[in-house]
Amino acid sequence: MKTVVERFLEYVKFDTQSDENSQTFPSTERQIAFAKVLKAEIAQMGIEVELDENGYVTGTLEGNIDNNVPVIGFIAHMDTTPEVSGKDVNPKIIKNFDGKDIILNEEKDIVLRISDYPHLKNYIGKDLIVTDGSTVLGADDKAGIAEIMTAIEYLKNHQEIKHGKVKFAFTADEEIGRGVDKFDIKKFGAKYAYTFDGGEFGSLEFENFNAASAQVVIKGKNIHPGLAKGIMKNAIRIGSEFISLLPQDQKPEVTSEYEGFFHMYQEIGSVEKVIQKYIIRDHNKIKFESKKEFFKSCVEFMNKKYGKGTVELLLKDSYYNMREIIEKNFEIIEIAKKSMIEAGVEPVIKSIRGGTDGARLSFMGLPTPNIFTGGHNFHSIYEYIPTFAMKKAVEVILNIVKEFAKTKKE
């Protein structure tokens, strides 16, 4: 059997960035290449596996007990963020971390500093996996895949552990909000599931942001600047003015916990045309709806000022707060808490300042909270993960399976 760390170090070598500008599903062929590797590995374990036309890898570990117990599922995603390179990942293991700043790249003076990331102090004496300062690490979410794969293989090879049917799936395009667009929960066949997707050691999450995406297209009018008076309409300046209308105290860099935000993450264009891309987030559904209405009112204001059609808006909801669903199925949280405690992990119940496939799956009819993988600083060259956290996540999965083996279907 491979260890969870060995698996993880193999998996991060695969470039699986998704691409929000792609019209295909999955959005990139490199995700399919990784999916084929996972399928082959699962088949080699002697476990039923399918790779479908949408790039979903789905495995089934048959139960070894006669009890009428619920089918439980585990889910992680294959893609890494489009925002930072995931190509040629070169992980390094820092043995017995001494609590000092970690030099990731001496030549470029890229340093993982304690002053910037004080949570590093929690892992003194532990082994850490870090980047070389040029790419993401890919713990979001290849750590989740490695943890699930390791737990499933352990169950396959240890028939003395009694369990019901266990389903597991690896999705594509989670990072661009399309992860479960084509996921068939009826075919998957689980009553409950858990995503293992991000989250620092001990985190257990069953509430997340309500989320929307917004694309703002600003149409200008270009002409030689020497002849511009009364004619030119500079889309760049109009775009800057539009941003200034948004509340300055509702940006990601100044908000925390349950505070929502408006975030422009991309802008391209010229005097003639500018395209801005935003995400809108809030845990509270009423505040979320209010934010969207405010955003629309800003567009209306700019069109009144600069002329009809100057600013066009495409606004789309992405996912909603899964708490609404999970609270009606709270036994899955109690089982997760018990499983973590039995593994020596103190549950830290917190809200996600983001979302997972589990948020959408919950509203599709498959209640799916999220459990830690153990990593930090996702979507960043400063990403890292303590190896002990991955090992504990594997224990948690095994304990969840054991706990569900004690329950009965309704």
Residue type, 359: A
Domain spanning 210-319, CATH class: alpha beta
- pLDDT band at 409, cuts 50/70/90? low
Q: What is the pLDDT of residue 49?
A: 98
Percent of the chain with pLDDT over 90: 95
Catalytic residue, candidates 174, 205, 282, 403: 174
Q: Is the pLDDT of residue 216 over 90?
A: yes
Residues facing 48 on adjacent strands? 60
Q: What span, in angstroms and rounded, lies between the C-alpha atoms of 393 and 399? A: 10
Q: How far is CA 54 from CA 140, 179, 192, 406, in A?
A: 21, 10, 22, 35
User: Which CATH fold topology does 4-207+321-404 show?
Assistant: Aminopeptidase (3.40.630)
Q: Based on the residue annotation, tell me whether 357 is a catalytic residue of this protein.
A: no
| Helix then strand then coil, % of the chain, to nearest 5 | 35, 25, 45
pLDDT of residue 136: 98
Mean pLDDT of 345-361: 91
Average pLDDT over every residue of 252-267 = 96
Give pLDDT tens digits for 354-376: 888 999 999 999 999 999 999 99
Residue-level pLDDT at 205? 96
Distances (CA, A) of 228 to 217, 223, 299, 390: 22, 6, 25, 61
Q: Is the pLDDT of residue 67 over 80?
A: no
- Please check the confidence at residue 35 and state whether its pLDDT lies above 90: yes
pLDDT of 337 over the 60 cut:
yes
pLDDT confidence bin for 408, thresholds 50/70/90: confident
Whether the Cβ atoms of residue 356 and residue 371 lie closer than 8 Å to each other: no
Q: Is the pLDDT score of 271 beyond 80?
A: yes
CA distance 73 to 229: 64
Low-confidence winner among 214-218, 257-261, 404-408 (lowest mean pLDDT): 404-408
Average pLDDT over residues 313-335: 96
Bridge partners of 261, per DSSP, are: 281
Is the predicted pLDDT of residue 62 greater than 60, yes or no?
A: yes
- The identity of residue 97, as a single letter, is F
Q: Is 29 a catalytic residue?
A: no
Strand positions, DSSP E, 180-234: 192-196, 203-205, 210-219
Structural domain boundaries in the chain: 4-207+321-404, 210-319
Active-site pick, 15, 41, 79, 173? 79
Q: Rounded to two decimals, what is the model's pTM?
A: 0.89
Task: Copy the structure tokens of residue 88.
Answer: 């040629």
Residue 388 in tokens: 């002990």
pLDDT at 400: 98
pLDDT in tens, 181-197: 999 999 999 999 999 99
Q: What is the pLDDT of residue 177?
A: 87
pLDDT in tens, 42-58: 999 999 999 999 999 99
Whether the pLDDT of residue 98 is over 60: the answer is: yes
> How many other C-beta atoms are found inside a 10 Å radius of the C-beta of residue 218?
27
Q: Mean pLDDT, the chain, as a whole number?
A: 96
Taking residues 241-254, what's their average pLDDT? 97
- Please determine, for residue 410, whether its predicted confidence score (pLDDT) is greater than 70: no
Per-residue buried b or exposed e for 303-335, using 16+ beta carbons within 10 Å of the residue's own CB: eeebeeebbebeeeebbbbbbebbeebeebbeb
